[in-house]
Structure 1
Amino acid sequence: MTRRLHVFVIDDSVPDLLLAEEVFATFNDKVTVTTYQSGQAALNAMWLSDAVYPDIVLLDINMPKMNGFEVLKAMKTDARLKSIPVVMLTTSLAAQDVTQAYSLFANSYVVKSVDFSQFLRQIESLVEFWTRSRLLNWPTPLSMESTSSIRLKD
């Protein structure tokens, strides 16, 4: 049996977190969800010495104190966290937000649907894709030392 997909959802909106929990509950045989109401709380959890890393982070952009771009930048500049896939899950359609997310190495950018059934389909697609695409060695990320010994033959 395949290990369940572990997803962190980071969003300051309690209704959005409750909606995410409700939608992910339909996949409870495949997914474990941990929610955080702030980027700092999620980062603190991932920075613990005995942290269990998620397979994927779903990250809102518009949050007080530390916005999603700041969380993304902190993750991608940290050697322990940089290989964790991050999907920006937001209501923003702004081109500059999409550009900034990808320039900070987001793995995907998804605009949340306001329609519940469409949002359910979005999450279903994310679960299917990331269940197939996740790193098999997770939750232990590959270190730079272990990958530096890999050599390509000419």
Structure 2
Amino acid sequence: MTTDTYDEVTILLVDDDDVDVMGVQRALRKLKILNPVVRAHDGIEALELLRNSNAVKRPYIILLDLNMPRMNGFEMLTELRQDKSLASSVVFVLTTSKADEDKVEAYQQNVAGYIVKSNVGEGFMDLIQMLDRYWRVVEFPTQMSGSKE
């Protein structure tokens, strides 16, 4: 992390694949990005964390895998967008799926970006650098309308 000042952005990493999670965490450490990371193994756990105001602090971004047990990424996105206090969450899909229908469905759910893991590479460095630039430039509200905060 550089000496630039910005609001610290929490990363909610929703992925059941331990290897991919370790890749993201390794890239964060290597780039000296100290943003808090909260991990959920599926959509159910992620929604529980988001609805617990102490678990994931605002502002936050969500890195969401699509293929997970219990509640997949699309099911989570549907519930997220229907919840007034969570509907405006910034979500980047991070998945193995290159299927056009998955990309269309994700963008119809207003994701900020659709990233295919195989295009990112093993180190996830480009992804983390892009996100670091993103949250340094974009202004996030600390509260959302309809939120319980």
Summarize deviations over 1:111-154 as a string: whole Å, max 9, x none: 1136335x21122112211331141x32x22x16xxxxxxxxxx
Q: Does 1:12 align with 2:19?
A: no
Q: Which amino acid aligns with 2:90?
A: P
| Aligned pairs for 1:111-122 within 5 A | 111-112=116-117, 113=119, 115-117=121-123, 119-122=124-127
Larger radius of gyration: 1
| Aligned pairs for 1:56-67 within 5 A | 56-67=61-72
Go from structure 1 to structure 2 and tell me whether the alpha carbon gap of 1:108 and 1:50 turns closer, same or farther (over 3 Å shift).
Answer: same
Q: Among residues 129, 132, 143, which one is paired with 1:127 in the alignment?
A: 132
Give the superposed CA RMSD. Answer: 2.1
Which residue of structure 2 aligns with residue 150 of structure 1?
Answer: none
- Of the structure 1 ranges 2-11 and 89-98, higher mean CA displacement relative to structure 2 is found in 2-11
Shift of 1:49: 4.9
Which residue of structure 2 aligns with residue 105 of structure 1?
Answer: 110
Ranges in structure 2 where 5+ consecutive residues have no aligned partner: none
Q: Which amino acid aligns with 2:74?
A: F
The answer as to whether partners of 2:63 and 2:94 remain within 8 angstroms in 1 is: yes
Shift of 1:45: 1.0
TM-score by length of structure 2 reads 0.84
Higher relative CO (Cα under 8 Å, sequence separation at least 6) belongs to 2
Which residue of structure 1 aligns with residue 44 of structure 2?
Answer: 40
TM-score by length of structure 1 reads 0.81
Q: Does 1:82 align with 2:87?
A: yes
Percent identical across equivalent pairs? 31
Hey, what's the Cα distance between the residues in 2 that align with 1:95 and 1:75?
22
| Aligned pairs for 1:134-153 within 5 A | 134-135=139-140, 137-138=141-142, 140-141=143-144, 143=145
The alignment partner of 1:64 has SS state of coil
